[in-house]
């Protein structure tokens, strides 16, 4: 499916990124394994996670190379693309998967916690995507797969930084899809559900919580990989600007924000008429203050 293609997978040292790298390898793509080997919160750094992924790809006898540049700077992202070009001579697929968490309730979130998450998720997705864009344009082909989250699409407690970045990635993907369709480039998002090091801090104190965690553990990172590999392929070249979700054996398609109701007043609006007429007419369609868990309330199938 991806014979002769070259993919960059950021955050490929473990979890979902590693599984996507393996799935792309199984479809005969060469892979740049990008990972800086930090903790979930972004501390430390090691090439070991990426090297472990490479060992697994070597077993599949697929060409791969490790890259430990960070996506959170323009220079780092350009260096990642240069690694692909120097090693394999081309670039065809970008998978924006790298991420960290700095969860904190909003009124206690520091600027550093905000910026660190935005820099990796949102800025990193732009930097890496933009670094490959000219090559995609010149060769008149290319595919982007971006990891978003229901924390951004729906909402969650204590994740203002992460949620804002993940919803921003959806807008970025849509803009790429619009601007680069003329060059046969497609861009899509996946909101993955998976038990990984980014979710394994869910409390399991009570019997009810323990039972829930056991069910969540069935959602392995590998469940997300087939859709990512498919969206990266030429078989999906007419699919662009979409947002998908994967939850164990379920695949979802998310809608986009659209007007759902309107009111108008020939003489215009003032504060009093807004309160007395506009709001009562609109409030039946107000969006509830839901969290991701409220919407996905059933057990993984």
Distances (CA, A) of 275 to 7, 22, 287, 288: 54, 56, 18, 19
The three state secondary structure string of 37-94 is CCCCCCCCCCCHHHHHHHHHHHHCCCCEEEECCCCCCHHHHHHHHHHHHHHHCCCCEE
**pTM of the prediction?**
0.93
Q: Percentage of residues in the chain with pLDDT exceeding 90?
A: 84
Antiparallel, parallel or unpaired: β 64-67 and 93-96: unpaired
Confidence of residue 195 (pLDDT cuts 50, 70, 90): confident
193 beta partners: 247
Residue 219: what pLDDT?
83
Confidence of residue 43 (pLDDT cuts 50, 70, 90): confident
Residue 47: what pLDDT?
94
Residue 44: what pLDDT?
82
Assess contact for 53 and 65: CB atoms under 8 A: no
Residues marked active site are found at 162
Residue 237: what pLDDT?
95
Give pLDDT tens digits for 229-267. Answer: 999 999 999 999 999 999 999 999 999 999 999 999 999
Query: What SS3 class is residue 208?
Result: helix
Give pLDDT tens digits for 134-193. Answer: 999 999 999 999 999 999 999 999 999 999 999 999 999 999 999 999 999 999 999 999
**For 93, phi and psi rounded to 5 degrees?**
-135, 130
Which domains can be identified in the chain, with CATH numbers?
6-256 (3.40.50.720)
**For 135, phi and psi rounded to 5 degrees?**
-65, -40
Model confidence at 222: pLDDT above 90:
yes
């Amino acid at each position: 499916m991806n014979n002769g293609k070259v993919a960059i997978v950021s955050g490929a040292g473990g979890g979902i990124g590693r599984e996507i790298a393996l799935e792309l390898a199984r479809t005969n793509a060469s892979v740049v394994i990008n990972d800086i080997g930090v903790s979930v919160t972004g501390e430390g750094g090691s090439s070991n996670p990426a090297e472990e992924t490479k060992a697994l790809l070597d077993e599949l006898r697929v060409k791969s190379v490790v890259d430990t540049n960070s996506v959170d700077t323009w220079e780092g992202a350009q260096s990642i693309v240069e690694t692909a070009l120097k090693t394999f001579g081309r670039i065809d697929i970008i998978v924006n998967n790298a991420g960290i968490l700095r969860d904190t309730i909003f009124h206690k979130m520091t600027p550093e916690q905000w910026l660190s998450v935005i820099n990796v998720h949102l800025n990193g997705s732009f930097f890496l995507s933009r670094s490959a864009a000219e090559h995609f344009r010149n060769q008149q082909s290319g595919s982007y797969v971006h990891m978003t989250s229901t924390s951004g699409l729906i909402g969650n407690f204590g994740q203002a930084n992460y949620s804002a970045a993940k919803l921003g990635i959806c807008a970025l993907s849509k803009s790429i899809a619009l601007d680069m369709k003329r060059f046969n480039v497609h861009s899509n998002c996946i909101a993955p559900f998976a038990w990984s090091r980014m979710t394994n801090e869910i409390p399991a104190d009570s019997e009810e919580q323990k039972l829930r965690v056991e069910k969540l553990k069935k959602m392995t990172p590998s469940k997300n990989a087939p859709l990512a590999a498919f969206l990266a392929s030429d078989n999906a070249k007419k699919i662009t600007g979409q947002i998908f979700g994967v939850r164990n054996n379920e695949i979802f398609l998310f809608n986009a924000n659209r007007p759902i109701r309107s009111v108008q007043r020939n003489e215009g609006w003032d504060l009093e008429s807004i309160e007395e007429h506009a709001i009562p007419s609109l409030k039946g369609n107000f969006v509830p203050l839901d969290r991701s868990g409220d919407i996905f309330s059933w057990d993984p199938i």
